[in-house]
Each structure stands twice: as structure tokens, then as C-alpha cells.
Structure 1
Amino acid sequence: MKFCRSALCVLISLIITLLSTDSAHTKLSGRVTVKLNDSATLPCSYCSDWLRWTVQNPFTVLAECNQTACGSAKEGFNLLQYEKGDMSLTISNVDFWKRNLYTCQCNGEDLCDVQLEIEDSRVPVVKVEYNGTAVLPCTERCSGVVRWTVFHKRSETLAECDQTSCRSVKEGYQMIYNQYLQGDFSLNITDADFSKRGYYTCDCGNKDICDVRLQIETLNSTVLIKPGDPLFLEMDVTDPVKVYYNNSDGVGLSRTPVCTVNELRCNNNYSQRVVSAVQLKEIKMSDSGVYTIRDSSNEHAIHVYTVSVQDNPQPHPHTDPDKGAAVSGWAWLSVGVNGLLVLVLIGLVVMMSVRRSNTTECFLMNKLPARGEEEEILSHDP
């Protein structure tokens, strides 16, 4: 693993591990894009001993070879040219299930990572802001049960409708009954975060009728920080990610990640509550620049941090000087409400002061009341 200049990359989540392995080989990376249902060939460097291909998410051994024999550990994944010195992995009948990050290993050491992408212009893409509401369109005819699923978990229904009603099987996913009766089978997804990105399928009586891809727009944060302070970069996802760094002066653009963080695994009670992050210690002036968190599987930018290291940083109008992350609209609304409350409290204090001032003045004016008047004055004290 490479380090961020002199800063050390340290993972600070409660439940996460950091993969940091120095290899004798120079690890290569690449990308292969094929059309849906075609075959794919993933290239790899030469290995004279034990070769193995694996997939990242979830981790699975696909095929392996040694000096005597080759074997396919999973159907559809083969090493066809190993005897000729070709370490390429051949994947037949590529579908969305096989879109992933693949790793070629020689004697247990990573030689290369290859990202497999599926090209299918027929699948519409819906983009939504982080934590926004997404509507996945589907307009067809169906007189039976219509249901939505995530492509890689077809057995888990998210929402469904029939001729009598609609129901949300999983929280945050909803179909509208009146729309269903009119042939509109759209799926509404609330609080769409990065865990909800991916491919969705709508089926009618177990027959696929719509495929839609949901993308979450990249988060952007501006960070002002003093030299010597730690910098925290939140991952925002539980999947494997890579951290890229570019100098603020545009020199030394990073083509390889400075940090690689593996998958965060938590049980269902904690998966949405645990936030993983990378801490960069002892920040220096030269560490100013752009830090980009990218999904390891498809290189999609998750979060972009624009970091400015200054001796006396002045808070940016859209920057939280304590956390460094950009302040959201809700935060500014909260500031406005709090400011209004402060003004109201100040007004009340002034009014009370005036009333007390008038009462004191009244008592001064009547400092020596007649005995018969003393009780009357006290009875008017507010």
C-alpha cells in the first residue's frame, strides 16, 4: 500500500479492517466492458506457479491452476489458455450478476485487478441526490402480481402490488396502488443513499418487464484545516473503496490509489449505523488538494473532499470548520432558527428589564409611602 506523503492512513471504524499488503509484484489494474450476454476475457500477467482468480464482492474463488492441472471452482469461469502461458479468465454469458471487481493472484500475491462492466443502453439510469427520493419508472401491462427486486437479490421482494392492494415489503420502498391500476408500476425509493445504488428489476408473474439502474450523485465537501491536525475522510459506503489524491497545484495527478479500504461487514442492526473513515495524521501544507473516494468495483466517485491546509483557516460560508465537511441546507436552516430564537430571547430580556426598571423607578418615587399605601404598592409588584 502507498501512503499519503508522510501522512499515515489509519482506519478508525469500530468494525473494519484495512488491507495493506506490500507485494513483490507491481499490481496492475484495468477495465473490461462487454455487452450483456456476451463472453468476457479478463487479462492477467504471467505466473509460473499457482494461479488463482477471485471476485471481490462477495469474495469467491472462481478458477485456479498449478503446474499440473487447472480447475473451475464456479460454473462459467474458466482458464482456457493456461498451458500456453495465457493467464486470462474467460467468463461466459455475462449478465449483471457478473459485474464486479476480479483479482488475479500468483502464489497468493495479487497480480492485477480487473473491473468487469456491462454495456446495455436499454437499461435506463435514474440519478438522485444523496438521501433524496428516487422514482424508478416502469409502465407496462400486467393483470397479476407486480413486484420489484434488487437485481442481485431476486428472492427478496422490495414492494409489490396485485389487483386488491399494494404493500411495501421493505422499508423505504413503495408502489402506489392507484398508479398500479393505470399500468404505472413505478417504484418510489426514499432516503436513497449509496447502499441503495445498483440495478433493480420489476417483474410480472415472475417475468421481467423493466430493468432500471439507480445512481447516487457524488458528494462534495470543502475542508479547511490547520497543519498538524488530523483529516477525517468518511467512506459513506460499506463496500470496498479507494482513496485518490491530487495536488492542489495540479501536479502529480494520482492514477493509483493512495489508500485501499476493504469491505465493512456488520450485521443488519448496525450496517446502516456504523460509519467508516480514514484518518490522515499530522496534515502538512503540502497535503492540500483533492481527495476522492471511489467505489472499488466501478471507480464511481462517492465523495470528493477539497482540502485546504492553512495556518489560520477562515471558515468558508459552506464549510464546517470543526468537521471540515460542507454544511448542508438543513444546517443553515438550523442556524437561522437558532438565531431567531436568540433574538426572541434578547427581546424578552429587554422587555423584562424595562418592566423591572419601571417598577424600580416607581418604588423610588414612592420610597417612603404612607402606611396605608405600602400594602397597595406591594400588591402591584409584577
Structure 2
Amino acid sequence: MTGAINRRSLIGAAAAAPLAGALAAGARPARAQAANTIRIGLITDMSGPYRDINGPVSVACARLGAQEFGARGFNVEVVFADHQNKPDVALNIARQWFDRDGVDMILNVAASSVALALWELTREKNKVAIATSTATADLTGRPCTPNTIHWVYDTWMLGRSTGGAMVRAGGDTWFFITADYAFGHALERDTANFVRQAGGRVLGGVRTPFPGTTDFSSFLLQAQASGAKVIGLANAGTDTINCIKQAAEFGLTRRGVKLASMLMFLPDVHALGLRTAQGLVCSETFYWDLNDRTRAFAQRARAVAGQVPLGMAQAGDYSAVLHYLKAVADMGVAQAKADGRAVVARMKAMPTDDDAFGPGRIREDGRKLHPAYLFEVKAPEESRGPFDYYKLLQTTPAEEAFRPLNEGGCPLVRS
């Protein structure tokens, strides 16, 4: 598959695009072909506030992972759907995929409220779900299941990396602007815990309706009135972009207030522009310019997705598809289709390694481990070319980047 992929071409295409050695139509009976086909369903935000950090680029990266896996004696198809960040919509789509359409694994998921709803359905249907763009660390806490994996990042990692760094740099009083649903609540909770552990104080906060909030002016003024040195943005996507733009318009940063963008992706920085985003600090687990492997992956991804700023969730879709398909090949298609728990167990038993994240592993609780990176956004004069937006401040090793195994409360973890 070559050329740029955009929303129109994706949605206008067939819902399922055969990959990795799929046979021509009619080459064998439909039932036999279906039995030898692994179907991956990418469910995400294709049209709302999280579109640019997921959307068509996530579909392109998932399909790239399937293509690079190659023909191993079975076919792979990737389908996708827009859940509109609504758990009920997502559950209806997932039930149809599992019950009628033969989908074996659900990918991406995005909104935390959607993931929490899908976790139990996936366990009930004995399928596989991998969240690559979902933040709440609760997914590997008490709601964890033997059928589900949390890839890329979570609220505990973000709070530890960004929150702790801001307090150490002198930002010891905080006010939170929080998206009012599971993701925002978890991100505020986990960041506030790290702020307090580092000796800081939380002076207050406000919760903003999600989705639909575009004017954050009154919330920013409340934050300013609190006297906090740091405004913690416990939101993402266009909500984060709008907060940062409006804070700049009010001149908050010129008055010494720091913005802590607790979940910011490279596409967000691209949308803001370096003149507005310069100096912001954020944490990610992937950056295209980290090393030779990440640069090679980015080059291949942009060949199919277009010249776009790749974010960590989109890289995660590629990474998760590759590892999932390795497990399927290792155990056989028939067994993989019949038993999602067995697939996840095999994925946990196999070390992970790919160009986007390098070597890693999946813990008993379903947490995928890899390093986390603290970045500062460059000033315009520091950037050397397209998407050269970050300078690395610190690296947290994989085994330290995420919540300790014994602290999450996952019932799969033996004490």
C-alpha cells in the first residue's frame, strides 16, 4: 500500500482491507478463508478531539505492522470504526465485530471510559483487546483481565515523569484543569499524588465537560486566581491545544505561570506551532528522532500515512499489531481464534521488540513495559527541520517507568 492515507480515502475504502498474503476473492470457499484469517478491529476517535493523535494515521500504522509481519501461512485484515468517544457506541460496534464479523482483536480504543467498558466485554467473549491510546492506569489495576493489554503509556507514568519533574524545577503549587471523565480523573489523581510526594501542594482544580468544551477562558482565570505556580492540564487532544492557545492569549506564561501538559503528543505540538509550544514539558514513550530504529520506522510509516507528525499512540498501533501477530504465528491460527486468553498469555511469555519502542516485555497485569522520556519543546530557532520539535531531558528505564506490579491491585498478580 503506497501513497498518503487520508480520512476520505480510508472511509471510502472497503471496511476490511486484506493484508499479508490474502488470497484473491474466490480462491477458496469463504468459510475456509475466514478460518485462516485473523481480523483486527481498530476502534478509535476518527472525527473528534482525539482524531489527530489517532484517526487515519493509526489505521495506516496498524496496517503497516500487518504488512511488515508478512505472509506466514494466514491472512490478516484490519477494519476500523469511529466510536465517537461514547462507551455505548463502542460496545455496540465491538459486539457486532465479535459476534458477526469475526474480529479477533480490538486495538487502540482511545477514551478511557470506552476502554473500561470494552475490557469486560473482551473477557466475556474470550477475545483480545490492546489499548494503545488509552491513559487510565486503572486498566492494569482491579479491572485487569487475562484478555487485555495496556500498551504505550498511562496516567501513573505521566504523573511520575512530568509531575515529578515540574515540582523538582520549583513548581510546587498546582491547579488542575481536568476533563470530566475517567481519563481526566485518573490523570489528575495520579499526578496530584506525585506532586504531594515531591513536597508540592494542590491548591484547587476544575472539571470541564467532555466532549464539547472549546472555551477554557473561565477555567484558566480560576487557575490564575488560585495563585498556583503550575496549571496542570489533565486533558488531551484539542482540549489541550485550546487550553495552551488560550493561556498564551491571556499572557499567563508571561506572568510566570507554568503549564504542565500532562498528556501531549507530537501532533499537538505540530498543531500549536513551536512559537506557542516552546518550553512546554511533556512525557512520551516514542519520538521519531530518538535513534536509528525510530527514524527508520518513521520513514516507513510516513510512506503510507503521508508527511505527518507521528505520535506515540500511532507508533503503538504498529508495535502492538506486530507482537500480536507473532504470538498468533507461534501458536497457530485455529487456537488463536478460539482462545483470546491463550493469545495474551503467549504475548506475555514472548519478549517484545520493534523499531518504534525497542526491546520490552508485558507484565502479568497486562502492562507493556518500555522506557519513558521527558521532553522539552524546542524554540523555533532550535528546530532543524520538519517535526524536529523535542529535546530530551531525561529517560526513565522500562522497569521504573510504570506503577510497581504489587501496587495496582490486579487480581492476576500472585502475591
* TM-score class normalised by the smaller sequence: under 0.3
Name the structure, 1 or 2, with higher relative contact order (CA <8 Å, separation 6+): 2
Quick check: which one's helix share is greater? 2
Radius of gyration: which is bigger?
Answer: 1
TM-score (norm 2): 0.22
Structure with greater strand share of residues: 1
